[in-house]
Structure 1
């Protein structure tokens, strides 16, 4: 019985510690590497609409590429430090113009090449805003919403560096592949299960030891000396 109690105690410590390390490690990495947000506007419809939950990977703004959907903060433009979500159309060194053709045939061009943008709402790449021709400075990005006629994006701030935003304002890149977050979530869940299992084994070890002590018979009376 004593050996069994000792074995359960060791198992409790090993399993419990493994669970704590796995769970806290998963939580720490997830908080460091990923973030979540809820869409509050229609500017990215039909890709994302109000109430949609998105997960973004925390990346340095210099890592984003054309076509990425990013979240950023620009309190000087939007009046708060809340996250804003838009699509990267051009990066440092690019020349972005709009628009060639008209109506649903209108196209935004980057470095003279018309963009194919199947994601824009109703196929309207122009959105009725003023035309623009911007050379994106190094270290900045030009951003547009997918709902071009209902998005307050770089076009609304053309007098400020051509509407471009410094890459330092970028907080993350929205992801559609949830493989890594799911793995992290599974690791955290497994860690919780292991921690609870360790606690259960610890309780079992305590009970076994109590029973072992209770099973030891008292010494005979003649063994007691006066």
Structure 2
């Protein structure tokens, strides 16, 4: 006859019970720490997305209308605001796209472009060290042109290819279209710095 093996149940020792209790406590502490850390990270990420959307949008440059100042693929940081000076680079909405151009003149200013593309604002030639080559570009406005109230006259730095306020299709930009002023390049690292 075969003998059956009997299972002998033994009571765990006090030492084993303490080890199991400590293991359970440690697991519970780890789960609490993990869930609270995850909660904090989710809140921080949501706040970062909100801040980036509301106050400091991050944009990527497409196209070459702002060369040599900005090149395709660069990532830039902008700040929300409503005061812009001549020479500031701004981003704005146009036909469900985001365009980036330079402020040439503000509300009420008179803009004149000669046949070579030299820009005059309120009778004064505009100093434009950021433009590598003047060009009249595509324009269908009559000059001198007065910028309407609450609007900004903008142009790209690469004047021969930029479509901007020189055309009636885009025209001067309304304040509600403006996303913000570009302040710094973030990417690639070699181009990191102010605009």
Q: TM-score range by the shorter chain?
A: 0.5 to 0.7
Asked if 2 retains the 8 angstrom alpha-carbon contact of 1:39 and 1:54, the reply is: no
Distance 1:10 1:43 in 2: 53
Distance 1:112 1:20, change over 3 A: same
Contiguous gaps of at least 5 residues in structure 2: 1-21, 187-195
Which sits farther off after the overlay, 135-144 or 64-73?
A: 64-73
Asked if 2 retains the 8 angstrom alpha-carbon contact of 1:54 and 1:174, the reply is: no
1:70 counterpart residue number: 90
Q: Displacement of 1:67 after TM fit?
A: 1.4
Equivalent in 141, 153, 163 of residue 152 of structure 2? 141
Distance 1:155 1:13, change over 3 A: closer
Equivalent pairs counted in the alignment come to 162
Whose helix proportion is higher, 1 or 2?
1
Whose strand proportion is higher, 1 or 2?
2
Q: Displacement of 1:148 after TM fit?
A: 1.6
1:160-206 CA distance string (max 9 Å, x none): 9xx4232222233323154xxxxxxxxxxxxxxxxxxxxxxxxxxxx
Say which structure, 1 or 2, has more relative contact order (CA 8 Å, 6+ apart): 1
Which sits farther off after the overlay, 149-158 or 138-147?
A: 149-158
Q: Displacement of 1:89 after TM fit?
A: 0.4
Q: Pairwise mapping of residues 41-60 of structure 1 onto structure 2 (< 5 A)?
A: 42-49=64-71, 51-57=72-78, 59=80
Contiguous gaps of at least 5 residues in structure 1: 76-80, 179-226
Q: Displacement of 1:6 after TM fit?
A: 4.5
- State the TM-score, normalized to the length of structure 1: 0.58
User: What SS is found at the alignment partner of 2:111?
Assistant: strand
1:111-167 CA distance string (max 9 Å, x none): 233221111123x26559687212212101111111222222222229x9xx42322
User: What SS is found at the alignment partner of 1:85?
Assistant: strand
Q: Displacement of 1:45 after TM fit?
A: 1.8
RMSD, matched Cα:
3.1
1:36 counterpart residue number: 59
1:25 counterpart residue number: 47
Q: Displacement of 1:88 after TM fit?
A: 0.9
- State the TM-score, normalized to the length of structure 2: 0.66
Distance 1:36 1:177, change over 3 A: closer
User: What SS is found at the alignment partner of 1:83?
Assistant: strand
Asked if 2 retains the 8 angstrom alpha-carbon contact of 1:66 and 1:89, the reply is: yes
